[in-house]
Chains A and B, each alone.
Chain A
Amino acid sequence: AQSVTQPDIHITVSEGASLELRCNYSYGATPYLFWYVQSPGQGLQLLLKYFSGDTLVQGIKGFEAEFKRSQSSFNLRKPSVHWSDAAEYFCAVQIVDSGYELNFGKGTSLLVTP
């Protein structure tokens, strides 16, 4: 079945430590990939997206993500986490076969400790 998987439901990191959030997808067609962040009680904000070209994309707030076609992955990274990064992170995929419907993973909740 076509799906977006975020294997980690919760992640805890110390402030200043590096972060990697995993995202895998299972679609045969070329995917268009997104990461969104949702702060508590807020809507979703786009962090970054990948459509084509350089497989390492830079986003807002110091985040980056790398598209690896061979691994069907689009992992989100940040070299040094700040307390304000505590939030829920969603990976999402669009493909032409589904009319560019935005399919979301179930999210990863990030907790940042002092």
Chain B
Amino acid sequence: NAGVTQTPKFQVLKTGQSMTLQCAQDMNHNSMYWYRQDPGMGLRLIYYSASEGTTDKGEVPNGYNVSRLNKREFSLRLESAAPSQTSVYFCASSPNRASPDTQYFGPGTRLTVL
């Protein structure tokens, strides 16, 4: 039982390049989330997927797209990376967004955009 896994762990991009961050969970959770963490800002929600087949914007969605590929996988895409997107990205999952419950986090992807 690996929990929430993310790939890659580290990535360096040049401005304008694109990339996809991958996330998978093996806990049979319905809901999945993407956050970014910046120094002194805590974690901010980028997008979430309440259930398979649905996605919604969070607090800071601009510049990102997501795909809920199936119940296990939720990817985050940067179409044209900008230096402002340099951050640590965390994926999380929870049993059901429609009720209070713990979110379980992956180890993070550290992204630098030059």
| Contact surface of A with B, Cβ cutoff 8 Å | 9, 32, 34, 36, 42-46, 49, 51, 90, 94, 96, 99-102, 104-107
Cβ-closest 9 pairs across A and B: A32-B100, A104-B42, A44-B105, A106-B42, A43-B105, A43-B107, A104-B43, A94-B100, A100-B100
| Contact in complex: A49, B102 (CB < 8 Å) | yes
Within 8 A of A (CB), among B93-110: 97-108
Q: Choose among B44, B58, B98, B104 the residue that contacts A100 (Cβ–Cβ < 8 A).
A: B98
Complex CA distance for A36 and B42, rounded to whole angstroms = 11
Given A101-B45, A105-B42; A51-B100 close (CB under 8 Å): yes
- Report the interface size for chain B: residues with CB under 8 A from the other chain: 24
Most buried by B among A45, A96, A104: A104
Q: Is the interface of B mostly helix, strand, loop or mixed?
A: loop
Instruction: Give the shortest distance, in Å, between A37 (CB) and chain B (any CB).
Output: 11
Instruction: From A9, A34, A100, A104, give the contact of B99 (CB < 8 A).
Output: A100
Please, which residue of chain B has its CB at the minimum distance from the CB of A93?
B100
Collect the chain A residues with CB atoms within 8 Å of residue B107's CB. 42-43
Across the interface, do B102 and A46 meet the contact criterion of CB distance under 8 Å?
A: yes
Closest approach, in angstroms, between the C-beta of A110 and any C-beta of chain B? 15
A32 nearest CB across to chain B (Å): 4
